[in-house]
Amino acid sequence: MSDEAVIKLSDLAIGYDRRALASGLGFELKRGAFTGLLGSNGSGKTTLIKTLLGIIPPVAGSFVARSPGGGKLRIGHVPQRESLDPVYLFSAFEVAQMGLYGEFGPLRRLNADAKERVAKALDHVGAAELAPRRFSELSGGQMQRVLIARALVCDPELLVLDEPTAGIDADAAKAVGELLAGLHKKAGISILMVNHELHWMRQLATDLVWLRDGKAVQGGVDELLSPERIEQMLQLQMS
């Protein structure tokens, strides 16, 4: 694994119940890069993210996730917001502070400093005024901001986002896109983002990984999103 990589996959196969959705995956996520993960429905994008986060085990092969300092890589995860059940009565602040539960183990309550960090993270993403409101009553774009704040509160080296602009209106999606661009450029955080919309990939990503036919193709944005290459990829997917 080169010093320039935060995650390196080696002949990785991903899937459920020992059935591989994609196999032979071998690429690196470069440090400081904004990597877009593309692919059709069912191609294994979310499964790949879940595998890299340790939520499900690989079917075969392995991957290494390493902090630039040599320790465990700090990852901030922004899930699809539909995965969070609205029956829970958490405020936006309470959802955001969950990002610190890794630092505050059992029997430890969050102290004033920790709460200050949560408030700053919410402020950073422009969601400070949402803190006391019930999370499940926020709009899609507002929820997304709070979830990004939750991921940022633990000072991540890699931010992993699963379709952050899906199902939200154009203005809110634009705001989320600008927020992510700012985090990447100003804070220098490595980002891995799943997104169906090619225009977001064009605007935000510096590298792309395209999952198709159970394999991964890695390349630059201009290279993989050229009209000829898109046509070629889509034909391959349809055939």
Partner 1 sequence: MELLREILDPEFLLRNSVHVSLLIGFVVPLFGIFLVMRRMVFLGVALPHISASGIALALSMHVWFGDYDAMHGANERVLALVGAIAFAGAALVILAVLERRSQGGTEGRIGAAYVIATATSILLLAKCPQAERGWLSLLKGEIIAVMDEDLWLGGCSFAVLTTLLLLFRKELLLVSYDRALAVVLGKRVAAWDVLLFALIGLSISISVFIVGPLITFGFMLMPPMTARLFARSMRQLAILASLTGGAGALAGFCAAYHWDLPIGPTHIVVLAGVYLLAVCGRTAFGMFRGPVASAS
DSSP string computed for the chain: --TTEEEEEEEEEEEETTEEEEEEE--EEETT-EEEEEE-TTSSHHHHHHHHHTSS--SEEEEEEB-TTSSBPPEEEE--GGGS-TTS--BHHHHHHGGGTTTS-TT----HHHHHHHHHHHHHTT-GGGTTSBGGGS-HHHHHHHHHHHHHTT--SEEEEESTTTTS-HHHHHHHHHHHHHHHHHS--EEEEE-S-HHHHHHH-SEEEEEETTEEEEEEHHHHTSHHHHHHHHHHHH-
Minimal distance in Å, beta carbon 173 to partner 1? 14
Residue 50 interacts with partner 1 (CB under 8 A): yes or no: yes
Residue 66 interacts with partner 1 (CB under 8 A): yes or no: no
Residue 84 interacts with partner 1 (CB under 8 A): yes or no: yes
Residue 1 interacts with partner 1 (CB under 8 A): yes or no: no
Tell which one of 60, 98, 119, 198 touches partner 1 (CB under 8 A). 98
Among the residue ranges 89-97, 184-192, 205-213, 214-222, the one whose residues contact partner 1 (CB under 8 A): 89-97
Residue 134 interacts with partner 1 (CB under 8 A): yes or no: yes
Total residues interacting with partner 1, rule: CB under 8 A:
31
Residue 101 interacts with partner 1 (CB under 8 A): yes or no: yes
Site for partner 1, rule CB under 8 A: 50, 53-55, 75, 77, 79, 83-85, 87-91, 94, 98-99, 101-102, 104, 106-107, 109, 134, 137-139, 142, 150, 154
